Amino acid sequence: MPVADYARYCEMLDRARKGKFAYPAINVTSLTTANAVLKGLAESRSDGIIQVSTGGAAFASGSAVKDMALGAVSIAEHVHRVAERYPIYVALHTDHCQADKLDKYVIPLVEETERRRAAGKPNLFNSHMFDGSALPLKENLDIAVKLLERFRKNELILEIEAGVVGGEEDGIKASAAAKLYTTPEDTLEVAGCLNAVQGARYLLAATFGNVHGVYKPGHVKLKPSILRDCQDAVVKKYGEAARFYLVFHGGSGSELHDIHEAVDHGVVKMNIDTDTQYAFSRAIADHFFKNYDGVLKVDGEVGNKKAYDPRTYLSFAETALAERVKQAVNGLRAAGTTMMK
Ligand SMILES: [Zn+2]
């Protein structure tokens, strides 16, 4: 049993919230990066989540094709095949998809899952994110409810976002700071709308000062206590069953005490991209700088085939990414928690 099915994915999320740990959700863009995540998870005996962004999926389909849905299918099919060889469960997820990209990304992937289910095959993905955080909350939730109804029929879990995660595109200007914090009122709206779709499951990316990318210390003021306030408000109004399963976006570069506090307040999934991108590239840079005259044909020489064979440096990168995944697993208290017997 390689990629978790719906029941196992639900169990993974339940165990995490109850046990106060979280799964790393690592963005991948290729076979090598996907393999690296599986290796890191397996070596730390943790289940986890592999996710693909719209840009990462377009990249995976090839620069001449640039079809995000196709690239996501390719990566997911690869993971379904190789994950059987690893002693952990992995779930497959698609990252941020804004409303204007739904028709090119999430919907074709849901259709793919529907075709597979009709043919008696397992789902391709376990969950998809719809990011309507740039829309007014009501519009965001109207779209989310429609998606959730369709997801429920297909045993898919929806991730939504309320509040805005800052980052490269949004900048980190002080004037924008207010939008970086979800309010308990916002999350009550979320619960009111989405809990009406009975029997469906969703994850909520609430924002508490997070930004995408890594910033130098002092730039980012995380307030994980916002997550506690949101949980308290929703439980008070709708009861314990409404307690959120939260997602931590823009977590790269966060301090451990903030990560732990967020996990204590119900974060079950932490997205990691920037830190693993760096780990991957760092290993390649190291190889190229150390083997300058091997990877290049300098002064009429012929270089060193072993040094410029992409397998050489991509294996270093794979190992480095896997090590970074293990570090993430430890920070999220997930080491040794796999459900695989
Ligand atoms: Zn994000």
Strand partners, 127: 93, 157
Please tell me the predicted confidence (pLDDT) of residue 212. Answer: 79
The pLDDT of residue 174 is above 90: no
Is 229 noted as a catalytic residue in this protein? Answer: no
Average the pLDDT over 274-300 and give the result: 96
H or E segment to which residue 278 belongs: helix 274-290
For residue 292, report the distance from its CA to the centre of ligand 1, in Å.
36
Please tell me the predicted confidence (pLDDT) of residue 166. Answer: 62
What span, in angstroms and rounded, lies between the C-alpha atoms of 306 and 74?
A: 29
Please tell me the predicted confidence (pLDDT) of residue 284. Answer: 98
Which pairs from 218-222 meet CB under 8 Å and 24+ separation? 219/172, 220/172, 220/253, 220/254, 222/254, 222/255, 222/258, 222/262
pTM of the model: 0.94
H or E segment to which residue 313 belongs: helix 310-331
For the segment 178-230, what is each residue's pLDDT rounded down to a tens digit?
A: 467 889 999 999 999 999 999 999 999 988 888 777 777 666 688 999 999 99
List the shell of residues around ion ligand 1, using CB closer than 5 Å. 249
For residue 247, report the distance from its CA to the centre of ligand 1, in Å.
9
98 and 134 in contact (C-beta within 8 Å)? yes
Average the pLDDT over 153-157 and give the result: 98
For residue 70, report the distance from its CA to the centre of ligand 1, in Å.
21
Please tell me the predicted confidence (pLDDT) of residue 177. Answer: 47
For residue 104, report the distance from its CA to the centre of ligand 1, in Å.
19
What span, in angstroms and rounded, lies between the C-alpha atoms of 291 and 274?
A: 26
Residue with tokens 């099919």: 77
SS3 90: strand
Structure tokens at 279: 């780990």
Say which range, 20-29, 50-59, 157-166, 168-177, has the weakest mean pLDDT: 168-177
Strand partners, 24: 270
For residue 258, report the distance from its CA to the centre of ligand 1, in Å.
17
Residue with tokens 């943790």: 46
* Catalytic residue selected from 47, 95, 131, 275: 95
